[in-house]
Structure 1
Amino acid sequence: MKSIHNLIKTKHLMKFILLSSSFCAISLCVSMLHLLATPKMVEVTSSPKYVSHPTTTTTTVDHLVFGIASSVTSWPKRKVYSKIWWNWKPNTTMRGCVFVDTLPAHEQNSNDHASLPPLCVSEDTSHFLYTYRPGGLRSAIRVARVVKETVALNHSGVRWYVFGDDDTIFFPHNLVKTLSKYDHTLWYYVGSYSEIYDAAQVFGFGMAFGGGGFAISSSLAQVLAKVFDSCLQRYPHLYGSDARVYSCVTELGVGLTHEPGFHQVDLRRNIFGLLAAHPLTPLVSLHHPDHTDPIFPNMTTTKSLEHLFEAVNADSERILQQTVCYERRFSWTISVSWGYAVQVFQNNMLLPDILRVEKTFKQWKEGNVMAGKYNFNTREVHPDPCKRPTIFYLEEVSSGQDDIISSYRKYSQNCSQKAPMKELEVIKVITNKLYLDNKQTPRRHCCDVLPSNPGGLMEIAIRECKYEELIHMH
């Protein structure tokens, strides 16, 4: 009986062990399934082009490298434009190169080297396939490769590569201010399209026009330079160099980051209307000075640009920023385009109407209806001269300890005006230096017409608008 009892006991023990083993196996499987189903923080190694590294230092002009496209024929005539902005601030290090097909004669004996970017001779592109397109030039291939050859200069500490033509006038401080909004370790292609609807429609609203200039982040530029020549072989039919750059950037999957401060200026004659109604963003570039009138009257094109830079050097971020205020006593509407001009309308005008670009210019191509359509809101020049604004152009800028005073002198009288407009000769504008915060959406400033002084002088103070303040006619 004892042996039978022991046998039964042994069987129960074995059964218990088997059941326990099965339970442990099931528990282990459940645990493993639970571990597989539970998200786990793992270290992922990504390609550097997609990883955003926090910028520890502020972007400055020292972090930029410029690639300027020129030629042996155009450089001697246009280098005066590069000299204006390249030498914009003493003791500032500017880096980059002007790319020419061959060195101009006597260039080695020039005394301008210190105030101009150095010259680089472009590499030979005769082996590249080129299909002729009406109006196109084979040099577009050479100019497009400025992107690749600028990266090949191997400058250190580059955050942005900036490209333009030899008649592109850059505003370096504002360029830095604009680009510093973006992380240079990510892929960015920054610029703007043409002012003309027809040109943007043909070449693309996603293409940065080369004359207005464009910027490519260093991380993107390094990769673009490696694949650029192979990409060029697929686009022999395109018209310009900027179209080739755009196509290659597009093949890398990158779109245009639009910044309206870059200006292609596909306009002719008087561009006063464009400058006087600049968008609420820093002025980054201007183009085509040879195709437009001098921006200040009674000056050459070069002198007028130098005069503008006198205001730029005093307050670069405020240049061309439009402020509108209303003079109650005379029902005047006053538009201040700081550092450039003041317009006085002798009637009340709604703010949205003032902000429209006055069509003082001519279209780029005559006879083309679509070329007269623009990518911004416009208003016609009033047919009655007496209902046009009286314009006061910048005369001088002076900086005090706490403020900046800019003076504007009356240029012309549209028709016979009664006092007090007839007596008004000078407008002084008082401001503090503008420091834009890239983390905030820009807001237009307000202004006050100060108590008038004798002698034909009006004083205006520009200030930040109050929290709920409206800019409106009274």
Structure 2
Amino acid sequence: MQLFQKHTKAQSLINFILVTSSFCGFYVLVSVLILGTSNSKLLLHLQHSSESSRDVFIKKTNTTLDDIVFGIASSKSSWTKRKEYVKLWWKNNNAMKGCVFLDSLPQNEDDPSSLPPLCVSEDTSRFQYTCKGGLRSAIRVARVVAETVALNHSNVKWYVFGDDDTVFFPENLVKTLSKYDHELWYYIGAHSEIYEQNRLFGFGMAFGGAGFAISSSLAKVLAKVFDSCLERYPHLYGSDGRVYSCLAELGVGLTHEPGFHQVDLTGNTFGLLAAHPVTPLLSLHHPDYTDPIFPNMTTTQALKHLFEAVNVDSQRMLQQTICYDRWFSWTISVSWGYAVQVFPNHMFLPDVVNARETFKQWKKGNMLAKAYTFNTKPVHPDPCKRSTIFYFDSASSGKDGIINSYYKRSFQNCSKDLVSPKKLEVIKVVTHKLDLDIKQLQAPRRHCCDVLPSSASDQLEISVRECKDEELIYKH
């Protein structure tokens, strides 16, 4: 019995040590067992070691914008127009690090304070290129990875790469990358929205236009071996395929982050943006190939308008919230900072979160060319049975931390009765600024919303909040 009690005490002590300090080695366990349970000083040391280890872990994951270096691929011919896209997200006053890589420098460049520095890519004529239908510049663009690392910026945790028509959302990038330890080898990005594109180029490849991130520890190794990898892949089509192949040779796979958007689509991308996954918006690509995201605006004007919401609450951008109005039996979908949809009937939530096929396929071809990698739902053929769309108009943040955003109805030639949502003119959405802590990033949960009483017949007011523990979002 006495021996059993000693064994029980020893086992309890081991359990205590494992819980309080996952970072202490085996020698500590042995020391505690030898010294016995009465050595309180050692137990205090264990607790202190555990707290110190947690502090080290927090430091590793505490990413800031200063820890990221951007490598942007461009050319002299495209930079003249596409630099307007980079101006949208590049922070002035030396708040960001990186370079735009060109084949040659343009003349009469803008004020450099509003744009990244310009770098001329190294000569790549020594590399073989045999891909039919491709461009030799793919080799130069692929080497942006190695040349960005060669800039030798100090205190770098992450390298982020994209095209000159990739619109990044820097604050959300910082938050997302803070989930990962930059001292480990990470290759983070997303695939295409089109099944056929992924089948041809690889489901494990991060598409370059969407942008991708490589941890500094991996990037430094990749830069050393990159040219030798290029020699083995002259037959590949794009630059991102070469980066992917070299990382595969290093044994590193893709970590998928759905907030990166390749946007291999044409036409109206409303359906894609209004049904954004519950994850931070990290990038948008191909603005030249799609319609302006807001009506009655040019592409650049529409993106600038989107950034008016980004500047108020970047982390909540496009986060979709669903609520139900019991009085009129409406289903309401809020895609914060972009649009609110009011459906004239109650719908099951899974039907609401599917993307409406407002867009068109990237290329003409067989059925695979029309197969998307996310759930879609066709647009109803009867305009009067479609949702009424209210586009983002303005947003402001008060001293009390409450954010008010307003959405105005888009013109539609359909009105049947007095309770139709098409009688509404403005929707006001009330929120608090979203703080994506590690818990929400690692285990995301959709927020809830309530329809508030309103004295105006042409205005609807909605409050967005965190859902309660056992709260369900369902039609009544």
TM-score range, shorter chain: 0.7 to 0.9
Please state if 1:298 is matched with 2:288.
Answer: no
Q: Find the aligned partners of 2:26 and 2:305 in 1 and give their Cα distance.
A: 63
Length, aligned pairs only? 421
Instruction: Give the unaligned 5+ runs of structure 2.
Output: 1-24, 29-55
The SS at the match of 2:266 is strand
Give, as a single letter, the amino acid of the residue that structure 2 aligns with 1:70. Answer: S
Give, as a single letter, the amino acid of the residue that structure 1 aligns with 2:445. Answer: R
Q: Find the aligned partners of 1:189 and 1:132 in 2 and give their Cα distance.
A: 25
Q: Find the aligned partners of 1:422 and 1:162 in 2 and give their Cα distance.
A: 43
User: Is the Cα contact below 8 Å between 2:236 and 2:242 reproduced in 1?
Assistant: yes
Q: How big is the shift at 1:77?
A: 1.1
Per the alignment, residue 54 of structure 1 pairs with 57
Q: Find the aligned partners of 1:342 and 1:417 in 2 and give their Cα distance.
A: 20
Please state if 1:106 is matched with 2:108.
Answer: yes
Q: How big is the shift at 1:437?
A: 2.1
Matches within 5 A, 1:309-324: 309-324=307-322
Q: Find the aligned partners of 1:330 and 1:436 in 2 and give their Cα distance.
A: 33
1:1-27 deviations in Å (ceiling 9; x for gaps) = xxxxxxxxxxxxxxxxxxxxxxxxxxx
The SS at the match of 1:223 is helix
1:181-210 deviations in Å (ceiling 9; x for gaps) = 000001000000000000011111100000
Q: Find the aligned partners of 1:422 and 1:313 in 2 and give their Cα distance.
A: 30
Cα distance change on mapping 1:127 and 1:458 into 2, 3 Å: same
User: Is the Cα contact below 8 Å between 2:414 and 2:422 reproduced in 1?
Assistant: no
Which of 129, 136, 139 is residue 138 of structure 1 equivalent to? 136
Which has the larger share of helix? 2
Q: How big is the shift at 1:451?
A: 0.5
Q: How big is the shift at 1:466?
A: 1.0
Q: Find the aligned partners of 1:55 and 1:424 in 2 and give their Cα distance.
A: 48
1:70-89 deviations in Å (ceiling 9; x for gaps) = 001000010000000003xx
Q: How big is the shift at 1:127?
A: 0.7
Please state if 1:434 is matched with 2:437.
Answer: no
Q: Find the aligned partners of 1:196 and 1:279 in 2 and give their Cα distance.
A: 17
1:364-423 deviations in Å (ceiling 9; x for gaps) = 012332111000000000011111000000010011122000000001225123113343
- RMSD, aligned CA: 1.6
Q: How big is the shift at 1:439?
A: 3.1
Q: Find the aligned partners of 2:422 and 2:148 in 1 and give their Cα distance.
A: 55
Per the alignment, residue 253 of structure 2 pairs with 255
TM-score scaled by length of structure 1: 0.87
Q: Find the aligned partners of 1:188 and 1:428 in 2 and give their Cα distance.
A: 41
User: Is the Cα contact below 8 Å between 2:86 and 2:164 reproduced in 1?
Assistant: yes
Q: How big is the shift at 1:438?
A: 1.9
User: Is the Cα contact below 8 Å between 1:67 and 1:146 reproduced in 2?
Assistant: yes
TM-score scaled by length of structure 2: 0.86
The SS at the match of 2:196 is helix
User: Is the Cα contact below 8 Å between 1:162 and 1:213 reproduced in 2?
Assistant: yes
The SS at the match of 2:135 is coil
- Identity over aligned pairs, percent: 71
Structure 1 segments, 4+ long, off by >4 Å, are 39-42
Q: Find the aligned partners of 2:164 and 2:115 in 1 and give their Cα distance.
A: 11
Which of 188, 192, 205 is residue 190 of structure 1 equivalent to? 188
Per the alignment, residue 354 of structure 1 pairs with 352
User: Is the Cα contact below 8 Å between 1:436 and 1:442 reproduced in 2?
Assistant: no
Matches within 5 A, 1:21-420: 54-56=57-59, 58-87=62-91, 93-107=95-109, 110=110, 112-133=111-132, 135-401=133-399, 402-420=401-419
1:115-140 deviations in Å (ceiling 9; x for gaps) = 1011100000001111132x211000
The SS at the match of 1:415 is coil
Cα distance change on mapping 1:385 and 1:400 into 2, 3 Å: same
Q: How big is the shift at 1:320?
A: 0.1
Cα distance change on mapping 1:195 and 1:461 into 2, 3 Å: same
Give, as a single letter, the amino acid of the residue that structure 2 aligns with 1:76. Answer: T
Q: Find the aligned partners of 2:373 and 2:438 in 1 and give their Cα distance.
A: 25
Give, as a single letter, the amino acid of the residue that structure 2 aligns with 1:428. Answer: K
Q: How big is the shift at 1:55?
A: 4.9
The SS at the match of 1:99 is strand
The SS at the match of 1:427 is strand
1:302-348 deviations in Å (ceiling 9; x for gaps) = 11111111111111110000000000011000000000000000001
The SS at the match of 2:396 is strand
User: Is the Cα contact below 8 Å between 1:55 and 1:183 reproduced in 2?
Assistant: no
- Higher Cα radius of gyration: 1
Instruction: Give the unaligned 5+ runs of structure 1.
Output: 1-38, 43-52
Give, as a single letter, the amino acid of the residue that structure 2 aligns with 1:81. Answer: Y
The SS at the match of 2:218 is helix
Q: How big is the shift at 1:220?
A: 0.2
Q: Find the aligned partners of 2:283 and 2:422 in 1 and give their Cα distance.
A: 36
Matches within 5 A, 1:431-470: 431-440=431-440, 441-470=443-472
User: Is the Cα contact below 8 Å between 2:415 and 2:423 reproduced in 1?
Assistant: no
Give, as a single letter, the amino acid of the residue that structure 1 aligns with 2:85. Answer: Y
Q: Find the aligned partners of 2:102 and 2:27 in 1 and give their Cα distance.
A: 53
Cα distance change on mapping 1:40 and 1:296 into 2, 3 Å: closer
Q: Find the aligned partners of 1:303 and 1:434 in 2 and give their Cα distance.
A: 26
Give, as a single letter, the amino acid of the residue that structure 2 aligns with 1:460. Answer: I
The SS at the match of 1:439 is helix
